[in-house]
Amino acid sequence: MDGRNDEKNRTVVKKTVKSGITFGSALAMVISYTAWHSVGWAIFHGLLSWVYVIYYVLVY
């Protein structure tokens, strides 16, 4: 295989994963602030990212 093509595919995957993590954190913080009206909890839940989003969907 072409080495340049492999490198390009890795770059796309890294960018996708990073944007997914960023989106998960932002979503968790918005959900948290909407539910609890607390910046502290929003930051904490933003650190948990997708874990909190999935928890919130399952419980509420």
Range of the domain at 51: 3-59
Q: Which runs of consecutive H residues, i.e. helices, occur in 1-60?
A: 3-36, 39-48, 50-59
Answer yes or no: is pLDDT of 15 > 60: yes
**Average pLDDT value for residue range 5-29:** 80
Per the CB < 8 A criterion, the answer to whether 28 and 35 are in contact is no
Q: Per residue in 33-55, pLDDT tens? A: 999 999 999 999 999 999 999 99
Chain position carrying tokens 């839940």: 45
Burial zone of 40 (CB within 10 Å; 0-12 exposed, 13-18 middle, 19+ buried): exposed
User: How many folded domains does the chain comprise?
Assistant: 1
